[in-house]
Amino acid sequence: MGVGRQTRLVLLVLCVGALWSGPSQGTPHRKDPPDGRGEREARPAGRGDPVGRSDRQDRALWDVVEALEWTVDFFRRSYRDINLDGLYGLRIAEGQLGLMLEAVEDGSVHHTVRHVIHRLGRIKVRITRISHHALHMLRSRDMEYFRKFEAVVKEPFLLRTPWKYLRTDGEEQREETMTETWFPGNLSDHCLAEVTGGLNSEKHRDRKCTVSERCWRFITASHTSGYTLSHQILWTILGEHVGCMENIDKYARRRGMLEGTQELRHRHCSSAHNHMEALMHRGAAQADQDMFLETSVLCGMLGYRDFLRDDWLRTVLAWQLPSGCFGIRHTPTRRRLLGEKLLQHDCLSHKSGLGAAMMGMYARCMMDPACNWRSESRD
């Protein structure tokens, strides 16, 4: 009896040790700092192993989850140095995972990959913790700039837009490029801060949902490309994010846009999709990768399923660097969203944030039957 009891105790200790060792590699203790020990420092081998069922879609899901974990681990190590743009991408990823978890609660997500749901839930917790620490660092580094764009990063993006496809039948299809000769960065930043209430003046202080004539002309301009086009789309997203859609739609209808913001989004994302198709057809140069990620993430956030494709996913996965980030291999890219920042190991803050956002978006789509990922997958 004594020997049997001791044997059972030993087995119990071994089992508890085995259970404890798993989470310590991917999910630190909740009281640990975001750069605490115990988290994974290197990417595990075995990319492509199935996470649930053994078909192609499950392997793609595994690749996405692993890439997302890898990128989040990069931000865990680098949160002190990232800029606002990197945190913006993390907040989008956090929101996409949050929407996926909401769908789980109402029973609309695949239950055959329940363990993947738990894994993604743990990733979301890590993103939330990293974001909170990064917020404090950004606030202390440049309070004036942080206050201007605080609405962009203070909360996760939870745009509850249904999955849909662009209706392009009968519309003009043009062969477009991603090249732009001029990006009105100062005007774009002004318009983004105007609608979110971040303008630092007595006239506009803490006053969101403002739509000036100058900014409306910029947001509704046709035949734009590159970052001008992506920021036109971003403006509508931030407007919804801060609760301004009713005001913006009323303004749009007064200006003859009867379907309101949805009409504007459809037009801009249709044009953006033409850009994406042309870009990927000829092969995305390194200088265009950030632009591709930003535009795809923004239109994907709006529910446009056309921007989530297996062949595009494989291309983006190949851009991820050994450190887990998305960055540069030779020369730096141009300034984008609000500003890019070069980090260690040739990592780019904004581009890495967009990489995390895109992986979160693909994970949500693959888990949601309404996204119809299986039937749309490509070899």
Condensed to tens digits (0 to 9), the pLDDT of residues 237-266 reads 999 999 999 999 999 999 999 899 999 999
Condensed to tens digits (0 to 9), the pLDDT of residues 222-235 reads 999 999 999 999 99
* Distance set, CA 7 to CA 4, 19, 51, 70 (Å): 5, 18, 34, 39
| Whether the Cβ atoms of residue 88 and residue 156 lie closer than 8 Å to each other | no
- Residue 342 CA to residue 322 CA, distance in Å, equals 16
- Residue 154 CA to residue 143 CA, distance in Å, equals 14
pLDDT, position 39: 38
Amino acid at 193: A
> For residues 21 and 116, which has the higher predicted lDDT (pLDDT)?
116
Across 105-123, average pLDDT: 82
pLDDT, position 38: 35
Percent pLDDT > 90 in the chain is 59
Condensed to tens digits (0 to 9), the pLDDT of residues 122-150 reads 999 999 999 999 999 999 988 888 888 89
Helix (H, G, I), strand (E, B) or coil at 327: strand
Which of 305, 277, 278, 297 minimizes the C-alpha distance to 167?
Answer: 305
Amino acid at 227: Y
pLDDT, position 104: 82
202 has a pLDDT exceeding 80? no
For 181, residues 6+ apart whose C-beta sits below 8 A from its C-beta are none
Phi-psi region of 243 (alpha: psi -120 to 50; beta: other; left: phi over 0): left
Task: Give, to the nearest 10 degrees, the angle between helix 286-301 and helix 261-282.
Answer: 150
100 has a pLDDT exceeding 90? yes
For 132, residues 6+ apart whose C-beta sits below 8 A from its C-beta are none
pLDDT, position 369: 86
Condensed to tens digits (0 to 9), the pLDDT of residues 277-316 reads 999 999 988 889 999 999 999 999 999 999 999 999 999 9
Backbone phi, psi, residue 304, to 5°: -75, 105
| Whether the Cβ atoms of residue 124 and residue 101 lie closer than 8 Å to each other | yes
- Residue 362 CA to residue 364 CA, distance in Å, equals 5
| Whether the Cβ atoms of residue 307 and residue 265 lie closer than 8 Å to each other | no
Task: Provide the 8-state DSSP code for 54.
Answer: S
Helix (H, G, I), strand (E, B) or coil at 34: coil
| Whether the Cβ atoms of residue 134 and residue 87 lie closer than 8 Å to each other | yes
Q: Poorest-confidence range of 150-154, 202-206, 343-347?
A: 202-206
The neighbouring-strand residues paired with 348 are 342
pLDDT, position 352: 96
Query: Per residue in 299-320, is it b (16+ CB within 10 Å) or e — as a string?
Result: bbbbbbbbbbbbebbeebbebb
Across 33-62, average pLDDT: 50
Distance of alpha carbon 345 from the chain centroid: 21
Backbone phi, psi, residue 108, to 5°: -95, 5
17 has a pLDDT exceeding 60? no
- Residue 261 CA to residue 67 CA, distance in Å, equals 33
pLDDT, position 124: 98
Question: For the purposes of burial, counting CB atoms within 10 Å of the CB of 118, is it exposed (0-12), middle (13-18) or buried (19 or more)?
Answer: exposed
Tell me the pLDDT band of 329, cut-offs 50, 70 and 90. confident
